[in-house]
Amino acid sequence: MNKIQEEYLNQYLETLNLEQRELHQNVMASYFCADEENANICSDLILAGVKTATCSMKYWYESEGEPMPKPGDLQVVTDWSGNPTSIIEKTEVSECKFSEVTAEFAAAEGEGDKSLEWWRQAHWDFFGKEFKELGMEPTEDMVLVLERFRVVYS
């Protein structure tokens, strides 16, 4: 987290009482997606209240030794350039196979036309690129970490 992101986070934390602050021990700063256009679109969708969910491959957490997200975690959402645009709090974290993602969850991700068909194609392409870099193939059974969140500061 850079200085600007940290200052933005501290502005939010100052609005909380001590007990509330202590609930947020895990904080990160990052953008969504892997390219400038989509990172900025996602940032805007979050601010508009359209995007309230996201997902990632469980494999990524396991192979990189990253801690799994959990309810109460905070994220300083940034645009592609690293400028903070909002702070979200994870409200729900679950796991499911790619093939079991629901139309409701796809709509909550808020991207594209919000349909399950659009979500499946976009995420198959995205995860396919990640797997290809790892020398692996995506499958319908790959386990995803599904996260729901709410904007707590903007």
- The domain tally of the chain equals 1
85, 78 contact by CB (below 8 A): yes
> What confidence score (pLDDT) does residue 6 get?
96
Return all residues near 25 (Cβ < 8 A) that are at least 6 apart. Answer: 72
Q: What is this structure's pTM?
A: 0.93
Tell me the CATH number at 82.
Answer: 3.10.400.10
What share of the chain has pLDDT > 70, as a percent?
A: 100
For the stretch 97-109, pLDDT in tens is 999 999 999 999 9
Domain boundaries, position 47: 3-97+143-153
Mean per-residue pLDDT over the chain, rounded: 95
For the stretch 21-42, pLDDT in tens is 988 889 999 999 989 999 999 9
Between 134 and 123, residue with greater pLDDT: 123
Give a yes or no: residue 37 inside a domain. Answer: yes
Classify residue 114 as left (phi > 0), alpha (psi -120 to 50) or beta.
left
45, 38 contact by CB (below 8 A): no
